[in-house]
Structure 1
């Protein structure tokens, strides 16, 4: 598991001559899912970078390793990559979400980052994709000649899709950023900076989507805190 002081602005240009960079995000809920889902765990651990998208991860690193790191949200990651892509006139592809959301993303990117060429595809809403689905998605991405791939299918689906398909993609960079698609498009409002600075971004989201997020906050969070306590008392490197 690798946490880092975010330097993607320098990382991406260095990869333009070959190779692929995968960045995944980690929060307490995804940590708990990964303990029970071997493929998801492999998808996270094999990434080039795993960034702390949650105050729980920041707290865990402080308690277990005595290191102070900062939260880097999927929205932060997306914003940085767009800045780099605009500077180098890259081609950015969005995979996931609805056609309406993707069109709003394209319009917004065109206004704020005019040097970027935007491609997109809205895959069918399924729990699992069949081989024809995966082949079509790979073709859409490669035919667009994408440099950057953002996948918005929510965890763990998006991370596993990248892991299982990356070798057949010609992209330089890939990342699963889930809810960022809707936040950026404006189809779902992200909590204000007040809640973000307080480390309580999850609270307004819970009130807005209780059916979807209750398990994350009332099951995974206590489980994660319990794991921190167990690891502090008797370290056994549960995740590595």
Structure 2
């Protein structure tokens, strides 16, 4: 793991992350679920402003580097094997890898009908028929009793992995609340993966993904919804990342000088 702007980030490849989850699902006897988030710049910026969200995100077992800029910073900090693990790709690779394995999935997120459509995508596109249930959470905050009822439903279905596809920070808070009652192996928050895989949102061309400009493509596609967010997130993330790297440099310099 590597610390970036105060959050521990997974510092290996997408393949490593997939293998870790699959191996633990098949071989471990986890009694409480492990929490995984696909962490982008937006979430990092929120965590710097919101102490409660920072606490929740810090409690997650794995924060995957969802964005290329996060990977760049991780490599500058010495994590040379670090690769991008976007929520979209992580979900897809897990579905493909587990299609012939005894690992059951529950899809939780999106508007009405989206998780059901995603279930069909998993069956037809990824060949995975191990989706045991779906649920679309209400837009409002769910009561503790509703969280318990949903958790009992998921537990009764014998799910191993619960996938949460909402916006940040709602999805991380939701996953954290569920984790108190679920008996699954993993709860994974994957943001817009539900919308991308069901075709509701088109993904940026590969070259834009590779150079860290996927956010720009999404902004061009949805300017009204995303302009205000990115107008804040992009400059703030650059600022926080620069401060973080400078602090690391001075810590390293001080240690080597014996200060």
Same fold (TM over 0.5): yes
Which runs of structure 2 are paired with 1:1-240 in the superposition (5 Å)? 1-6=8-13, 7-11=16-20, 12-16=22-26, 17-19=28-30, 20-63=33-76, 65-68=77-80, 69-111=82-124, 112-126=126-140, 128-235=141-248
The 8 Å contact of residues 163 and 190 in structure 2, kept in 1 or not, is answered as yes
Q: CA deviation at 1:124?
A: 1.2
Partners of 2:172 and 2:189 within 8 A in 1: yes
What residue number does 2:5 align with? none
Query: Stretches of 4+ moved more than 4 A in 1?
Result: none
Deviation at 1:115, TM superposition (A): 4.2
CA offsets 1:42-64 (integer angstroms, 9 cap, x no match): 2222222111111221232234x
Q: Deviations over 1:24-73 (max 9, x none)?
A: 1222211110112223212222222111111221232234x143322211
Segment of structure 1 superposing worse, 11-20 or 153-162: 11-20
- Shift of residue 85, structure 1, vs aligned partner: 2.5
3-state SS, counterpart of residue 171 of structure 1: coil
Moved more, 180-189 or 140-149: 140-149
Deviation at 1:219, TM superposition (A): 1.0
Using the alignment, how far apart are the partners of 2:210 and 2:247 within structure 1?
A: 32
**Cα contact 1:90–1:115 (8 A) shared by 2:** no
**72-81 vs 215-224, which deviates more?**
215-224
Structure 1: gaps spanning 5 or more residues: none
Taking only aligned residues, the RMSD between alpha carbons, in angstroms, comes to 2.1
**Greater shift in the superposed pair: 181-190 or 107-116:** 107-116
1:199 CA displacement? 2.2
- Secondary structure at 1:232 match in 2: helix
Q: Aligned with 1:150: secondary structure?
A: strand
Q: Which has the larger radius of gyration?
A: 2
Q: Give the TM-score, by structure 2 length.
A: 0.82
Any idea what the Cα deviations from partners look like across 1:111-154, whole Å, max 9, x if unmatched? 2324423410112111x222233223213322222111000121
- Kept in 1: contact 2:114–2:194 (CA 8 A): yes
Structure 2 SS opposite 1:22: strand
Scaled by the length of structure 1, the TM-score of the pair is 0.88
Distance 1:61 1:109 in 2: 32
Q: Which ranges in structure 2 are unaligned for 5 or more consecutive residues?
A: 1-7, 252-259
